Amino acid sequence: MWIQTIDPLGSLPLSALVAALPILVFLLCMVVLKLTGIVSAVIALAVEVVVALAVFGMPLGSIAGSAGYGLLTAIWPIAYIIVMAVWLYRISVASGRFDIIRASISAVSPDQRIQVLLISFAFGAFLEGAAGFGVPIAICAALLVQLGFQPVRAAMISLVANAAAGAYGAIGVPVIVGAQVTGMDVLDLSRALVIVLQPLTLLIPFLLVMILDGVRGLRETWPATLVVTLVFSGVQAGVLWFLGPELADLGAGLAALVAIFLLSRVWRPKRIFREGGAEIPEVERHSAREVIVAWSPFYILTGTILLWSIPAVKALFAEGALAATTISVPIQGLTNAITTASGALVETTWSLAILGATGTAILLAVLITVATTPQISIGGALTELRATIGELGKAIILIALILMLANIANYSGGSTAMGSALAAAGPVFPLIAPIIGWIGVFLTGSVVNNNTLFAPLQVATAEGIGAAPAQLVGANTAGGTTAKVISPQSIAIAAGAVGLSGRESEIMRASILYSLGMLAVICVWTLVLTLL
């Protein structure tokens, strides 16, 4: 039994700095040296192994177990979800339905500024609420490329837009988990997030337009941008305040989609913006029935995801008649082999949920789509699956490497060392609290995992400095959503979706300032709230 320590060097700031070396090395390789994501991750993983072994004293068996757990998690459920989602998208393209979807969006407006609000912001939030786990980033980035956006720009915009919805993805799981691990009421945390995160959410549509066309773009599209942000934020805040996080993204995304459509009936920008001055494509006209049928794969996807999210269905897979399809696998060197610095025994196991996985819900949507789409055969669908796996291979390898690094950092005590060092800031801790969430999501790629790791630390610190626990857990969640913009997992998913696997550094360089800028806004706003 190995006992974790978070201060092996006898100086918490120094221990935390050493623990942060793999992250710093990864960023250096990606942003400065412009290495590929996989090469950068391999180098950072090697540094993490050395830090865990030589500094934190983690046994080789536990390092191997932590890395193995990360690898298995990357395969199932993460790669399973991503492959199924992109497969569904490719089937939609191969069947010709995606051409109709693209035409229906162009018919709303050929202006790419409006298309970004419609797709990356509104539709992306809807998909985030239904599925999460990178699904909206993959689908929206690919859709923007189909509409004529440059691949790097499409990926970066979809990543930035996701910051408005990432806190409530997959039916509000990040908030629900944050409440569970801290023992607070879900509604209290939801309301705290309205106060902490909603001001930034209000600004994101304006930021997206400015990314594309600067201040002139805002002047020319302010009616649409204002309507979208007020409708989206109003519905999201209302749902969070009165109902909780489960429908925050679904309701807000759907309301924003309807708002853009209705506004387009009475208003259009005087100047049509296209990247690089490209010509306005001729808009194909389709009947309402054709459009509804073309969008059906995504209706089906939403329906299956919602079905899998119903508590009774979850219970069926967890402890009901289908419980045998969920297999819990202990990890040698990790499960019951590590005691954390707080004295808790690590009981983590890898869960192979064959039927209960979100990927299976997406697979069901794929099967229904193929069965109801005469334009594509079973053989054609399998061809698209092979192409999907080949296209996403590098992205999945990068995700696996990062999860291996993240798990070694978490179970060696390195992640806790970084969080604890920041927590020692005392009265100015609220300024730093979102940074802890940013680190958590950058490491794990998941707001859920971030809250699992650091929400209890935020509560303990809040009690020590006299701040509101829900507010700091909200700051942890909000900071985490800004990290999703440059999380290696998110970058890998976006790169794979737009055909830039191996060129992740380009997307990272295009996105990093937006991530840090939004993080700075959350940090300052959290501090202001604690002083009020």
DSSP for 238-303 reads: HHHHHT-STTHHHHHHHHHHHHHHHHHTT---SS---GGGPPPPPPPP--HHHHHHHTHHHHHHHH
pLDDT at 61: 95
193, pLDDT greater than 90: yes
339, pLDDT greater than 90: yes
448, pLDDT greater than 80: no
Considering just the CA atoms, what is the radius of gyration of the chain in Å? 22
pLDDT tens digits, 492-506: 888 888 888 778 888
The letter for the amino acid at 129 is: G
Residues above pLDDT 90, as percent of the chain: 37
**C-alpha dist (Å) from residue 223 to 229, 280, 482:** 10, 22, 26
Say which residues have a Cβ less than 8 Å from residue 444's Cβ, sequence separation at least 6.
403, 406, 410, 450, 453
pLDDT tens digits, 194-223: 999 999 999 999 999 999 989 998 999 999
Say which residues have a Cβ less than 8 Å from residue 194's Cβ, sequence separation at least 6.
237, 240, 241
pLDDT at 474: 92
204, HSE (Cβ side, Cα atoms, 13 Å) = 31
Matching residue, tokens 């109709």:
100
Mean pLDDT, to the nearest integer, of 52-69? 95
pLDDT tens digits, 132-171: 667 788 888 888 888 888 899 999 999 999 999 988 876 6
Whole-number mean pLDDT of the chain? Answer: 86
Mean pLDDT, to the nearest integer, of 384-399? 84
Q: How many CB atoms lie under 10 A from the CB of residue 375?
A: 10
pLDDT tens digits, 160-189: 999 999 888 766 778 877 786 676 888 899
CA torsion angle for 245, 88, 299, 305 (degrees, to 10)?
A: -40
Mean pLDDT, to the nearest integer, of 48-77? 93
